C-alpha cells in the first residue's frame, strides 16, 4: 500500500466537498477547485474525512493512489488557506512593480517585462520581494517558475530573480595571471 495514499484527509468545517461523475468539487472560504478522479481509485467521503482506496493492485493503480490523495489534500488546503511563493530580485537597478494588476519587471533588459496573472493568481510586491498567491498549488508554482525564468540568477554575481531563500552556487571569475617583471 502507498504510505501517502493510506493517509486520511481531514475535511475542515468551513470546506464543503462533493463528488459527482468522477469530479470532486471542493468549496472553501477562498474559492472553489475541481479535481478529476481516475477510475483506478475510489473516494469514500465520510462525515469529516476522505479515504482514498485503489480498485486493483496493478502498477498504474498504485501510482495513482498516492497522487490522487496528494491532489485532493492540496485542493482542500488551497481553498482553506491558499498557497504563496516568494521570489527575490537581486541586482542594481532591478525592480518590480504592479500596474493595473500586471507585474512589471525591470531586470536589465532594454525594455520592461510585463507578466499578466492568470485567473486565480494575485501578485504582491514589497521592496525586492514578489509574492505569487493563489488557491491552486500547481498554478502558483508554475507562475512563480515562469517569473523566475525571465531572468534566472547568474552564477558570477548572483543577479537575477530567485526563490526567497534559494542558494545560488557562485563561480569564481577569471584569474588574472601575474606577469613576472625583470625575469
pTM metric for this prediction: 0.86
* Domain assignment of residue 183, yes or no: no
d(C-alpha 45, C-alpha 42), whole Å: 10
What range defines the domain where residue 139 resides?
83-163
CA dihedral 88, 89, 95, 99 (to 10 degrees): -40
Between CA 69 and CA 160 the distance in angstroms is 36
Point out the domain boundary residue: 40, 63, 80.
80
Q: Residue 147's domain is classified under what CATH number? A: 3.90.930.12
Same domain? 8 vs 69? yes
pLDDT in tens, the chain (183 residues): 568 888 999 999 999 999 999 999 999 999 999 999 999 999 999 889 999 999 999 999 989 999 999 999 999 999 999 999 999 999 999 999 999 989 999 999 999 999 999 999 999 999 999 999 999 999 999 999 999 999 999 999 989 999 999 898 999 888 887 776 655
Return d(Cα 166, Cα 152) in angstroms, integer.
12
Q: How far apart are the first and last CA of the chain?
A: 75
Residues 102 and 159 in one domain: yes
Question: Which one of 30, 65, 80 terminates a domain?
Answer: 80
Amino acid at each position: 500500500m502507498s504510505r501517502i495514499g493510506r493517509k486520511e484527509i481531514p475535511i475542515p468545517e468551513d470546506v464543503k466537498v462533493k463528488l459527482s461523475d468522477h469530479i470532486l468539487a471542493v468549496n472553501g472560504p477562498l474559492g472553489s477547485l475541481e479535481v478529476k478522479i481516475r477510475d483506478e481509485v475510489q473516494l469514500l467521503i465520510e462525515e469529516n474525512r476522505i479515504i482514498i482506496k485503489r480498485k486493483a493492485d496493478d502498477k498504474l493503480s498504485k501510482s495513482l493512489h498516492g497522487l490522487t490523495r496528494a491532489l485532493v489534500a492540496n485542493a482542500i488546503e488551497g481553498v482553506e488557506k491558499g498557497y504563496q511563493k516568494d521570489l527575490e530580485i537581486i541586482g542594481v537597478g532591478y525592480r518590480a512593480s504592479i500596474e493595473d494588476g500586471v507585474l512589471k519587471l525591470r531586470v536589465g533588459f532594454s525594455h520592461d517585462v510585463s507578466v499578466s496573472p492568470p485567473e486565480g493568481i494575485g501578485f504582491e510586491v514589497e521592496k525586492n520581494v514578489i509574492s505569487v498567491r493563489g488557491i491552486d498549488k500547481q498554478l502558483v508554482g508554475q507562475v512563480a517558475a515562469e517569473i523566475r525564468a525571465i531572468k534566472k540568477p547568474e552564477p558570477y554575481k548572483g543577479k537575477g530573480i530567485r526563490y526567497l531563500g534559494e542558494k545560488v552556487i557562485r563561480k569564481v571569475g577569471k584569474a588574472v595571471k601575474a606577469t613576472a617583471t625583470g625575469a
